[in-house]
Every structure is written in C-alpha cells, then in structure tokens.
Structure 1
Amino acid sequence: MHAIARRRAVILIGSGVSANAATDAGIHPPTWGYFLENAHSKLNKSVSHIRDAIKRYNYLEACEYLKQEYAAGWPDLVRESFLTPNYKAAEIHHAIFDLDCRIVASLNFDKIYEGYALSASEGTIIVKNYYDDDVRQVVAGSDRYVIKPHGSIDTISKMIFTLEDYGRARVKYSTFYEILTALLHTHTFLCIGCGLSDPDMQLIFEDYKYKLSESPHFITLPSPVSEPQCGLIQKTRGLNVLKYSLKDQHKELTESLKELVAAVALKRDEIADLRSW
C-alpha cells in the first residue's frame, strides 16, 4: 500500500482482468487459453501438436501452430475475439484506475483498460507499446502511462502472440525489456489477473529474483494455492502471493481492490499532511 500511495508501484494486469469485462449481451473476452482452444476447435479438425501444446500450457507454441493453420485468416480471428465484440470495462478496471498509479502495464492485446483510462482521465493517459521509440519516457517522465509489453490489437503485425514474435521482440526491442528491469528495481509490482505461464512473467521475474535474491513484488492468485506453491513462487519469481476466493466470479478480488483504493487515499492524505513525499 505504501508504494502505491507514493506512486512507486506498477500495476501489471493480465487476461484475468479483461475477463471481467462484457458486451451488452453479457459475452466476456476470452482468456489466452480459451482463445487458443476455441481457435483449435474452429479448425474442424484435431491437430495433435496444437492440442498437446495447449495441454502443456505452452501457449506461444500453440499460437505459432494456429497462426500457420489459419494463414491469411488469422488477423480476422484475432479481431473477432478481442476487438469486434466491443467489451465494456468492469468494476475491477475502475478500481485499478482509481488506485491512480503512474504506470499500469497491460499484458492484454485488447484495449479495454486503456480505453476506460483514456475516457476517465479525459485523454491525459499516455499509451506506449513495447516498440515505441520514446518508450523510455515511462521511466523518466512524470505523466500517467499505460504500457503494452505485448502490443495491441490496433497493430496485429506487432502483437507478441507466438514463439517467433516473442523471440524477435526480445532481441529487436531489448531496450524495452531493460526499461521493465529498471522498473522492477525501483518500483513494487502488483500483478493482477496474470498467469504464471506467461513468458514475461517467467523470464522477467525469475531474472530479477536470481540476480538480487529479493521478493518485493506481489501477485493475486485465486484459491486454492498451497503454502508450498506460494513458497516456490516466492523463491523462483520473487512474487508474494495474495490469495482470494473464486466465489461469485472472483468478486473478492474486485472488492479487495476497492478497499485498497480507500486505504491508499487515506495514506496519501496522511503523507500530504506530514509533507513526507
């Protein structure tokens, strides 16, 4: 809470946050795993190497195979899943915005969070993708940012969605990953709705943990998560697990974030009164 109150925190959001959004008809965005399973089923044939990759949670590999299968039809499939339905932001998006952190990093291709943030901030939020030349402003600047480590649905050709995409990005845009590392050193990360199988969640946090042997960052995970699992995540990723109940479609997570918003507001008032910025 102290890091958030002093705006020395980065909120990292994954597909679990987007899954709370919905269309007017009540349709929710797919998680990465569901999108791949659905894309596989739409092929109207069972492809063993795709099925096996999904079962192993190797989503980058599965996505690579699916992209090859769909060929020219791939961009349309992606748009139909993440853009065309016109998803509306949910309470959890509002709560994350209300935390008023200077930096929110979204691992999602959709534009649900930044769309809401741009509207709620009257256009004062700045959106930066991993490939932007001036992305270093996120560290050096004083504005509010949404950064997109995997790119956006706006530019499908630059979305990091496959093994090839990921490998190319880490070499060609290595400066961006250096920026993420700098933020890990100087800020506390709160990961919400993020899957531990995401390559960035693995490589970035594992690299940080093994270099510095510190565990200053946090991740929310739905119960049940055993204590040995929590210990292993902390030991290998430097992430402290904040558990919550799955009941009522993850309602406890949203309510907890609302409570955090109130607590942070009080802490900021206290900091202002004491002039201890």
Structure 2
Amino acid sequence: MEEIEQLAAKMDRDTVLFIGSGASSPAGLPSWWELVDWLKDYTNSLGGDINAANEYLKTSQLINATSTLTSQLNKIGKSLADFFNEEPKCEIFTSATPKEIHQLIAQLPTSSIITPNYDLLLEKTFDETGKPMEMVYKGDKDRINSILRNAIKDYIYKYHGCITKPDDIIFDFNQYNTLIHTPNIDKECLRALIQTKTIVFIGAGLEDPDFNHIRDYLNEIATPKNMELWAFMRDCEPIKEHYKEAFGINLISYAGQGNDHSDLLTKLKDLILRLNDENGKVLDALEIASPSGIEQKKIEGLLRNALLQANDEVMPLDEAIIGFIAFFDTVEKNICFRYFHDRKGHQVGEISNRVEYLIQNKLIKATENYLMPMNCGFSQEAAEQMEEEILDYLMEQENE
C-alpha cells in the first residue's frame, strides 16, 4: 500500500495523533446524533420544551439542536454538566473499556495525542501499557504552553473537555463558536500544531466539525501543501485527489459500513508493521510469496514494540515470561519460577528481577501468589511464540 508506506516514512516521535469520536464507537460510546438524542430525552424528562430541537434535527443541525436544549435546561435550573452527571446513559463515558483500535494507537511511535472525545478510553489504554500520559485539558495555559515549547511529548490534550470535568465540556453552539471564532489558547495551540507537526487523523469523519475547521483553516493560509496532514477516512477514494490539491490533506480510504471498522484496523496494522520493518521489505516479500499469510504478520511486532516502549532493548527472558503467563492466562508464581529455573537455566534472582520489572511496567499483572497477562495484543503474540515449547514441557510433565 503506497499511502501507508508514505505515511510510515513521515511518522516519528514528533507526530501528533488526532483521535476522533469514531475511535470510541467500538467501545459503545454514542455518536453525536445519539448523544443529542440522550440530551433531548433528559431535557424532556425534566419538562423542558424540545420542539425547537426536533425541528433542527430534521435538517441535521446538531449544534443548534444542542444549543436550544441547553437553553431549556438553563431555564429550569439545570446545565449540560448536570446532564453528564445525572443521565444514567452517560455513565458509559467513564465505564467503557478500550478496544483493539486503542491498543493499535498505543503501538504507534508517538504519544502526542489531541482529541475532542470526553471519554477515558485513551487514558485507560496507556495506563494498561505502562505508559501513563500527561493530561492536558481545555484552557490549561501552563500545560498547553508546554506542548507548544515541546516541553512535554507524552500527552493527551482534551480540548473539548473531559467527563471528569463536565463543567468544561464543549457541546453546544455558543461553546463551540467561542472556541473557533474568539482568541483563546486552545485555538492557537491547534493552529500551531497544524503548521509545525505531522498530524494523523484517526476516527474523524468528513463531516466532523473539528476536521472541517482544520480543513477550512488550511484553505485560508498560503501554503497548506507544505504541511503534513494525513487522515484515515471511510470510503473517500473519489475525493482524495481534491483534498490533496485543495487542502494538502492526504486521505487514506478504508471500507466499511455502520460500526464495521475492520478495514481501518487492517490499515493500522499495516502501518505498525511498516514502522517496525525497515523499508517494508518483509511485508513486500510476504505479499508476493503468500498473500493469505499477511494477516498474521500484521499483528506481529506488538510485543516487541511494547517492550521497547518500556525499555531501550528487548530482553528474550521478558518475552518468554510474558508468553508463559499469557499461555496459561493465570499461573502460580512458583510454577513460573520453576519453569525458567529448572528448564531454562535462569537464576532465581534474575527471574525475580524480570518479573518485578514487567509488573512495574504494566506488561503483566500480579497478586500475592499468581501472575496474569495484560489483556493486550502483545500478550496474545507472546503466548503464540511460546505455545510449542510449553506444550512440549506439559507433555514431559505428564509422562514423568
């Protein structure tokens, strides 16, 4: 895939990921339409007038519908923050668990992320991989200035607010208009990043207002073609050339309908493999020799990348310990230690140090007596690498 190769060549530690709401939908988070419906039902349950909102929704004016509903809430002494705190359905913003797309995002070579999403999926993902991020919220001048000075690189910048700070969430027309059209540090930060960084959009749609704002901004300035903006977009093949010429945005089209994002996941796996594979030679050879085998190859490299994120080198013993634990799902500590001491010849102190290292870096989990794998793609890969060796070991144990 030529576009994936080109993007892999551009991505590095300084790349910024823009993660849109589409990345949250596999975890059960609502679309913008669904969230407005929730707000409408909440307003109606409190006796607010929803007639104007219904009229706006007939013509897909979601921001205006949200604004009139917010106005109705204010008239009865309520607010958007009350909606997010009191509406039972909004509990999903805190309870949702990361999915495969989030694990793939965490495998990319950058940890600089901006997102309009209110949920906690990205925070949970990076915590699970042992790489907690600096959280930057809307209006946080000190941390936003740190982003602009490159003083922090591992961050999640939630410029529309977060469910943990519902009073600051941007959802209606007045709030959004203020962000876009009045001087503020959030807008200036976004514009500076657009002009100075490689930006990759994942989970944003062509009708996403944030994506369109960036697109329109690029149309205003003189040299959009000198910038590096890439966007994974569903079924955008017919307009790719126009977007490149008019806005300097490189669109990567993926197929799918509704909640089917499998082709997007496939392309992200391609990208990860390209990033891990010098010049893409392994992938090219595999595509020629065995097209049917490429899907398995795409998931490989997650283990190596996870270990490299925790340390500067990959320790074979670390890979083996993760694989041994993941194979059994849950294993007693003494069984794990006995395997690597008696069968593999490692010293007990060495095994203990590596297990403790893996626990501290959240590559495995532990209780007092048991070891457990993280629920991530790299655990599956490690288990598959150890499978044959462990099966031989179990056969030997059975025959003794």
- TM-score w.r.t. the length of structure 2 is 0.58
Q: Which stretch shows the higher mean deviation, 103-112 or 248-257?
A: 248-257
Deviation, structure 1 residue 112:
1.2
Higher helix share: 2
Matched with 1:87 is 96
Pick from 4, 9, 12 the counterpart of residue 2 of structure 1: 9
Judge conservation of contact 1:29–1:81 (CA < 8 Å) in 2: no
Matched with 2:33 is 33
Identity %, equivalent residues: 21
Matched with 1:275 is none
Pick from 127, 138, 143 the counterpart of residue 130 of structure 1: 138
Deviation, structure 1 residue 73:
6.3
Deviation, structure 1 residue 34:
1.7
> Against the structure 1 CA distance between its residues 178 and 68, is the aligned structure 2 distance closer, same or farther, given a 3 Å change threshold?
same
> Against the structure 1 CA distance between its residues 244 and 55, is the aligned structure 2 distance closer, same or farther, given a 3 Å change threshold?
farther
Matched with 1:154 is 164
Match of 1:242, SS? strand
Matched, 1:222 2:234: yes
Matched with 2:276 is 265
Pick from 199, 205, 214 the counterpart of residue 215 of structure 2: 205
- Pairs within 5 Å for 1:49-198: 49-71=52-74, 72=78, 74-79=80-85, 80-84=88-92, 86-123=95-132, 125-134=133-142, 135-139=144-148, 140-170=150-180, 174-198=184-208
- AA aligned to 1:250 is H
Deviation, structure 1 residue 41:
4.8
Q: Distance in 2 between matches of 1:108 and 1:117?
A: 16
Judge conservation of contact 1:3–1:187 (CA < 8 Å) in 2: no
Judge conservation of contact 1:12–1:105 (CA < 8 Å) in 2: yes
Q: Distance in 1 between matches of 2:59 and 2:82?
A: 26
Cα deviation, 1:169-222, whole Å, max 9, x if unaligned, reads 346762222221111112121111113333332223321233134243122222
- AA aligned to 2:273 is A
The CA RMSD over aligned residues, in Å, is 2.8
Judge conservation of contact 2:237–2:253 (CA < 8 Å) in 1: no
Q: Distance in 2 between matches of 1:196 and 1:163?
A: 19
Deviation, structure 1 residue 167:
2.9
> Against the structure 1 CA distance between its residues 56 and 267, is the aligned structure 2 distance closer, same or farther, given a 3 Å change threshold?
farther
Q: Distance in 1 between matches of 2:246 and 2:170?
A: 24
Deviation, structure 1 residue 94:
0.5
Q: Distance in 1 between matches of 2:161 and 2:14?
A: 24
Matched with 2:289 is none
Judge conservation of contact 1:103–1:138 (CA < 8 Å) in 2: no
- TM-score w.r.t. the length of structure 1 is 0.81
Q: Distance in 2 between matches of 1:128 and 1:15?
A: 18
Match of 1:34, SS? helix
> Against the structure 1 CA distance between its residues 172 and 209, is the aligned structure 2 distance closer, same or farther, given a 3 Å change threshold?
closer
Match of 2:164, SS? helix
Match of 2:221, SS? helix
Q: Distance in 2 between matches of 1:232 and 1:50?
A: 35
Matched, 1:249 2:255: no
Unaligned runs of 5+ in 2: 1-7, 282-400
Unaligned runs of 5+ in 1: 22-27, 271-277
Judge conservation of contact 1:218–1:242 (CA < 8 Å) in 2: yes
Q: Which has the higher contact order (CA 8 A, sep 6+)?
A: 1
> Against the structure 1 CA distance between its residues 73 and 200, is the aligned structure 2 distance closer, same or farther, given a 3 Å change threshold?
closer
Matched with 1:13 is 19
Q: Distance in 1 between matches of 2:99 and 2:198?
A: 25
Deviation, structure 1 residue 122:
4.0
